[in-house]
Amino acid sequence: MKALVYTDVKELTFQDMPDPILRDGENLVAIRSVGICGSDMHAYLGHDERRPAPLILGHEAAGDVIDGPMKGARVTINPLVTCQTCEECKSGRENLCGKRQIISMQPREGAFAQLVAVPTQNLVKVPDDVSFDHAALAEPLAVCWHAIRLGHQALDVNLATANTLVIGGGAIGLGSALSLTAKGAKKVKIAEPNPMRAEYLRENTDYQVYDPFKQGHGDLSQYDMVVDAVGFATSRKDACALAKPGGVIIHIGLGDSSDGLDIRRLTLQEIRFIGTYTYTAQDFIDTAQAIYDGRFGTLEWVQKRPLSDGANAFAEILNGSIATPKIILHP
Ligand SMILES: [Zn+2]
Ligand SMILES: [Zn+2]
């Protein structure tokens, strides 16, 4: 098969690779659409010690099952392979499984390839009238859906009247805004400092988008929920200042690891800070269904390219010349 292999820091090579060998209960999926994630970018820059080269990255994928128990099905892939037997898995919190493996992290090669091996429990069927490009968005949108579900649970006020802000207008930021809308929020703003990306969001979505660096965030203490889809010290600091007393901060971004939290304000104002990571198996299924039902809107905020052009796509994302929140590669 052909695959886009991460061969060294900032180096991706489109090359021949051996076909995956199926283990018991696994399916061979012919990948039709696979998205580029911020975490793929992180690995490409050599910043993820869990993903050393050489490795096939890519975990946001959909395709046709061509061999194995689900042969013939159109599927989207939940890339979290979990043990199904530990306390976390049994209580439906598979994302916290201590034995969790992720497609695109050893020992599992990723989906920037023509073929990938996937256990049956990780496949969700896709109806014929839903495109693989849309189905491949199930993974990043599930991250958002899960985060907003946790935020909604913790919120004391009605989401329909809640004032909400998403910091960051990339795929996870936009997906969080769309998840808020899908769950009934009416007041959703997005803070995005990249002018090209902000302009893209203004033209292609109904959200109010502003530049937090140039315009500032406006009044402090104004939001019932703040979603930090960036995760840097500055965005955490802003989130702490912008949340209302009794409000909720949802932290998804993995920008950096320390600083920014105003623990005193979080404590005295009972602001709930919730870290969230990936999704449960049920969140993934619910997200896929929400895509099929059109609850995330048209999902046309993607740019499509052949997998063979993947190295250029990474380079362009890195130099900031791409406004679209998501690039989908076609093997
Ligand atoms: Zn991802
Ligand atoms: Zn487990």
Please indicate, yes or no, whether residues 226 and 268 belong to a single structural domain of this protein: yes
What single string gives the DSSP state of each residue in 160-221? Answer: TT-EEEEE--SHHHHHHHHHHHHTT--EEEEE---HHHHHHHHHHSSSEEE-TTTT---SSS
CA distance 123 to 62: 9
Same domain, 133 and 148: no
> From ligand 1's centre to the CA of 231, what distance in Å?
15
Q: Report CA(276)–ligand 2 centroid distance (Å).
A: 17
- The ligand that comes nearest to the alpha carbon of residue 280 is 2
Same domain, 218 and 184: yes
41 CA from centroid of ligand 1 (Å):
10
Adjacent-strand bridge partners of 248: 225, 272
- Whether 154 and 122 share a structural domain: no
Structure tokens belonging to residue 293: 């039902």
**H or E segment and range at residue 142:** helix 138-154
Q: In this structure, which ligand is nearest to the CA of 88?
A: 2
Ligand located closest to 94 CA: 2
Tens of pLDDT along the chain (331 residues)?
999 999 999 999 999 999 999 999 999 999 999 999 999 999 999 988 889 999 999 999 999 999 999 999 999 999 999 999 999 999 999 999 999 999 999 899 999 999 999 999 999 999 999 999 999 999 999 999 999 999 999 999 999 999 999 999 999 999 999 999 999 999 999 999 999 999 999 999 999 999 999 999 999 999 999 999 999 999 999 999 999 999 999 999 988 888 999 999 999 999 999 999 999 999 999 999 999 999 999 999 999 999 999 999 999 999 988 999 999 999 9
Distance of CA 122 from the midpoint of ligand 2 (Å): 14
The alpha carbon of 88 and the centre of ligand 2 are apart by a number of angstroms equal to 6
Q: What is the structure's pLDDT at 49? A: 87
Nearest to 217 by CA among 199, 195, 190, 198: 190
Output the pTM of the full model: 0.97
In a domain, 88, yes or no: yes
Smallest-distance ligand from the CA of 91: 2
Query: Does 281 reside within a domain?
Result: no
Instruction: Looking at the CA of 104, name the nearest ligand.
Output: 1
In a domain, 286, yes or no: no
Q: Which of the ligands is closest to the CA of residue 42?
A: 1
pLDDT of residue 48: 87
Q: Are residues 131 and 171 in the same domain?
A: no
Rounded CA separation 200/191 (Å): 13
Ligand nearest to the CA of 86: 2
Residue 255: the pLDDT is 86
Instruction: Looking at the structure, tell me whether residues 120 and 168 fall in a common domain.
Output: no
Q: 219 CA distance to ligand 1 centroid (A)?
A: 33
Residue 285: inside a domain: no
Across 175-205, b (16+ Cβ under 10 Å) vs e yields bbbbbbbbbebebbbbbbbbeebbebbbebb
**38 Cα to the center of ligand 1, angstroms:** 6
Q: Are residues 85 and 38 in the same domain?
A: yes
**10 and 133 together in one domain:** yes
The CATH number of whichever domain residue 60 belongs to comes to 3.90.180.10
Number of domains in the chain: 2
Q: Cα–Cα distance between 39 and 190 in angstroms, integer?
A: 21
In a domain, 284, yes or no: no
Q: Are residues 133 and 150 in the same domain?
A: no
Q: What is the pLDDT of residue 77?
A: 98
Say if residue 185 is in the same domain as residue 247.
Answer: yes
Does the residue 196 lie in any domain? yes
- Is residue 290 a part of any domain in this protein? no
75 and 167 housed in the same domain: no
Q: Do 210 and 129 share a structural domain? A: no
Last residue within a domain, chosen from 237, 260, 275: 275
Tell me if 322 is assigned to some domain: yes
In degrees and rounded to multiples of 5, residue 199 shows phi and psi of: -65, -40
Say which CATH number the domain at 233 has.
Answer: 3.40.50.720
- Domain residue limits at 208: 144-275
